[in-house]
Structure 1
Amino acid sequence: MLVGKASTHAPLSESDVLELLARGLAPLALDGKRVLVIIPDSTRTAPIPLLFRQLYALLGDRVARLDYLIALGTHPPMSEAAIERLVGVSAAERAARYPRVAIFNHRWDRPDALTLIGTIGRDETAQLTDGLLADDVPVVLNRLIFDYDHLIICGPVFPHEVVGFSGGAKYLFPGIAGAEIINFTHWLGALVTSMDTIGVKDTPVRRVIHRAAAFVRRPILLLALVLKGATLHGLYIGDYQQAWSAAADLSAQLNVITVARPFRRVLSMPAPIYDDLWTAAKAMYKTEPAVADGGEIIIYAPHITEISYTHGRLIDAIGYHVRDYFLKQWDRFRHVPGGILAHSTHVKGKGSYDAASGIETPRIQVTLATGIPEERCRRVNLGYVDPRTIDPRAWAGREAEGILLVPHAGEMLYRCPALRAAHKP
């Protein structure tokens, strides 16, 4: 049964959310059960404090436990202060008012936190990926889920560079998964390219994720949120495939901006929720499909001083390059984790590489105006401009000149159908 309410123009109220949650949870036999809620970290806009309060109001007196697992993927663990901001409640208040609640960080990098739940064979991966990859994929997930009777996934659905639209079972893979399937799905998305994936509902990566989720032998309820900016416009509750599908359709209406002509230059300003380039690069992914060949995206984020707090060393070693730079030198790069290669190609964008001449030709220029030093930007094969020389106000209102300013970049997708058709694979 799918429970939902949505509007493209009017936000949902707190009473709307409470009523939908009550209807969605009512059929579940949760009395005395242990329930684990899987939620995003702070790099996703979502009304997690509201859901935290309302879920406890509805389930706190019914269940034995109502714990939370933060779907970090490979993002760094959240501090206690960051968790307090995420759920809107201090640790002391949680202990006093929410005695059946604990909150855990996912740890993709700790083997003792993970368990193998199945394997997708190479014949099946070849079928799921339209022949792009044919590998045995171990499906490794956080073992904590097996301490619980019921799982609830709660998170937003936005256009996404790896999977097409985020949300749903993506909170399992990569959200609480191990490195193997994270690397496989991200490299698969890179082979398709971000520009040809983002904002597409049926993708090879989504098929793999749904196949992997079938190995999870626990009942799963999805609370799929759809936002425009910070405003909640839709909530769908039900089966993780059905609720996600409805949310993706609404997200396509709310979070995709279609432009008639591509822009020559874009000043894309990542939202403050991103604190390194690994996450802030969404400012590039979400605008690349609206940038003309030979154009430029400047990622303007003076507050960012690090490429990746988790993977910076590996990215420094390989730099940022187009997909074919790696494919045509595969023996040189096959040892690099697929997630690292994928991030590299996603940031650099589409382009070509001539192995004979060693010439790499990206479709567009990507330039950083951040706190990352110029020497490091050049070393990893990205452009640099001193952020102190840029006044974002000077970029505003110049769309007719082919110049676009995108504040709070990272969740709204800009797309030019004519450009997309010209580069259709």
Structure 2
Amino acid sequence: MPIEMLYGKGHLRLELPQGAVPHLIEKPPFPATEPPAQQIGAAFAAPVAAAPLARLAQGRTSACILICDITRPVPNHLFLRPMIETMIAGGIPAGHITVLVATGLHRPNEGAELAALVGDPWVLETVTVANHFAMNDDDHVDLGTTTGRGVPVKIDRRFVEADLRIATGLVEPHFMAGYSGGRKVIAPGVAHHETIRTFHSARFMEDPNARECNLHANPLHEEQLEIVRMVGEVYALNTVIDDRRNLVFASFGEIVESHLAAVKFVRGFTEIPVGRTFSTVVTSSAGYPLDQTYYQTVKGMVTPLDILKPGGTLIIASHCGEGIGSAHFRAAQQRLVAMGPDAFRDSLLQKALADVDEWQTEMQLKPMRAGRIQLFTEGLSADDLAVTGVEPITDLAAAIAASIAAHGDPDVAVIPEGPYVVPLSAATAA
């Protein structure tokens, strides 16, 4: 029976070779939900550890709403207009409301892409919509350094100086910060490059607690929480979607508490106890928009490592329609290929500030240490494939058959939704 893997803007039909014993790893079904407008309205009216949005808007003179960039399928079209309308009704002039795209160190989203990201022409016509640029020094306010690990904290002044500050995002497993959304939309989302490059340096990335689904003693999470406290009063709208991009959960309120409420909800649907490991694991990079670059594909390689037997084969399908990623990332990948994994890692440990985007290459070291990594893609050129550091394949079924033969093990774990599902080798989730 064929399996539909998330791939690009559609699905990739996976036909397993004869003799393979598939073990499909998917989320359990989400419970039935109210229509999206009702979910959003209820979240605004009954927030977590905060007053309702309508009351928060009263007496404010300006507002800044953070939204994730194009790499995250956040349902902005569902909540931006009702959020902004509530602000305007509360007395905030439309001209004093900014929707700020939290790009981190990613490229800006402009033109038709920005319109698709926002998803509502009314928003673009009514308020200011702009991109964050981490490299622009003058765009940031220096808030000092964190007490825990000395991270310099510089945040986009449009957010810091707004009277009402709201972060919005998608809560899903994140391969280094535990879970996305909430505090992460601020840092790295609208942080200065020095802030981002500090807590993406090797002393953070090599910490064993900097991993998916873990918030306990996670150095990135702890620094992000302190950064939120340094910014001051911040609220958040947190969303969860299913594999068809339908809204299944929304929480609004104080940024830390409302984010934890969303994490509590989503854990039961993303952390999947499997009870064993596999010699062959087949996964995806979660489809569009996450699988549009090889840079983002690394997340799909890291997430299933808990169920990969030492020396096993991890096969990932990722469209990579936009190519390898940034020039910075390409340079890091070239250094990895030229130096080898061990020397590359040693070079990172000497730096206080990571080079832009090289932390993704550093995260790729984890699957490379664990086993054999194979990539199926239709979007990378030969030059791109040469700097991935992994083995390209053109036939999924043949690669799976070869892995089964090499390991003498017919069992194959298949994860159609990629990094949105975190399989655990233990019989029960922690």
State the TM-score, normalizing by the size of structure 1: 0.80
Q: Once the 2 structures are TM-superposed, how far is the Cα of residue 220 of structure 1 from its aligned partner?
A: 1.0
1:416 corresponds to which residue? 425
Match of 1:233 among 241, 248, 254: 248
Residues 215-252 of structure 1: CA deviation (Å, up to 9, x unaligned): 214x2111122333323232222211111112111121
1:160 corresponds to which residue? 174
Q: Once the 2 structures are TM-superposed, how far is the Cα of residue 292 of structure 1 from its aligned partner?
A: 1.5
CA distance in 2, matches of 1:61, 1:208: 35
Match of 2:415 among 392, 406, 422: 406
Q: Percent identity?
A: 21
CA distance in 1, matches of 2:322, 2:365: 19
2:288 corresponds to which residue? 272
1:367 corresponds to which residue? 374
Provide the secondary structure at the position in 1 that maps to 2:58: coil
CA distance in 1, matches of 2:258, 2:398: 39
Q: Once the 2 structures are TM-superposed, how far is the Cα of residue 107 of structure 1 from its aligned partner?
A: 0.7
**Mapped pair 1:390 → 2:396:** yes
**Mapped pair 1:105 → 2:119:** no
Structure 1 pair 291/52, CA: closer, same or farther in 2 (3 Å)?
A: same
CA distance in 2, matches of 1:281, 1:311: 15
Structure 1 pair 81/308, CA: closer, same or farther in 2 (3 Å)?
A: same
* Superposed counterparts of 1:185-200, under 5 Å: 185-187=199-201, 188-193=203-208, 197-200=211-214
2:39 corresponds to which residue? 16
**Mapped pair 1:297 → 2:297:** no
Report if aligned partners of 1:157, 1:165 keep a CA contact under 8 Å in 2: yes
Structure 1 pair 305/225, CA: closer, same or farther in 2 (3 Å)?
A: closer
CA distance in 1, matches of 2:225, 2:300: 27
Q: Once the 2 structures are TM-superposed, how far is the Cα of residue 25 of structure 1 from its aligned partner?
A: 0.8
Report if aligned partners of 1:41, 1:70 keep a CA contact under 8 Å in 2: yes
1:51 corresponds to which residue? 79
Provide the secondary structure at the position in 1 that maps to 2:231: coil
CA distance in 1, matches of 2:234, 2:294: 33
Residues 9-58 of structure 1: CA deviation (Å, up to 9, x unaligned): 12242223213213431331534521111111222232210101221332
Structure 1 pair 329/176, CA: closer, same or farther in 2 (3 Å)?
A: closer
Q: Once the 2 structures are TM-superposed, how far is the Cα of residue 148 of structure 1 from its aligned partner?
A: 1.7
CA distance in 2, matches of 1:309, 1:165: 24
Q: Once the 2 structures are TM-superposed, how far is the Cα of residue 281 of structure 1 from its aligned partner?
A: 2.1
Report if aligned partners of 1:236, 1:247 keep a CA contact under 8 Å in 2: yes
2:107 corresponds to which residue? 76
**Mapped pair 1:66 → 2:92:** no
Aligned residues: 380
Report if aligned partners of 1:184, 1:338 keep a CA contact under 8 Å in 2: no
Q: Give the aligned CA root-mean-square deviation in angstroms.
A: 3.1
Residues 301-344 of structure 1: CA deviation (Å, up to 9, x unaligned): 2443522125234223322699854454568x638725644211
Q: Once the 2 structures are TM-superposed, how far is the Cα of residue 164 of structure 1 from its aligned partner?
A: 0.9
CA distance in 2, matches of 1:348, 1:402: 25
CA distance in 1, matches of 2:347, 2:372: 22
Structure 1 pair 162/250, CA: closer, same or farther in 2 (3 Å)?
A: same
Report if aligned partners of 1:276, 1:305 keep a CA contact under 8 Å in 2: yes
CA distance in 2, matches of 1:394, 1:367: 10
Provide the secondary structure at the position in 2 that maps to 1:46: coil
Provide the secondary structure at the position in 1 that maps to 2:33: coil
Residues 110-148 of structure 1: CA deviation (Å, up to 9, x unaligned): 223223121125xx31xxxxxxxxxx3210111222442
Provide the secondary structure at the position in 2 that maps to 1:319: helix
Report if aligned partners of 2:198, 2:352 keep a CA contact under 8 Å in 1: no
Report if aligned partners of 1:193, 1:346 keep a CA contact under 8 Å in 2: no
Q: Once the 2 structures are TM-superposed, how far is the Cα of residue 379 of structure 1 from its aligned partner?
A: 4.3
CA distance in 1, matches of 2:176, 2:273: 20
Match of 1:137 among 151, 155, 179: 151
The answer for unaligned runs of 5 or more in structure 1 is: 1-6, 126-135, 352-361
* Superposed counterparts of 1:322-333, under 5 Å: 325-329=343-347
* Superposed counterparts of 1:249-288, under 5 Å: 249-270=264-285, 271-274=287-290, 275-288=292-305
By relative contact order (CA 8 Å, sep 6+), the higher-ranking structure is: 2
Structure 1 pair 32/58, CA: closer, same or farther in 2 (3 Å)?
A: same
State the TM-score, normalizing by the size of structure 2: 0.79
Q: Once the 2 structures are TM-superposed, how far is the Cα of residue 394 of structure 1 from its aligned partner?
A: 8.3
2:359 corresponds to which residue? 342
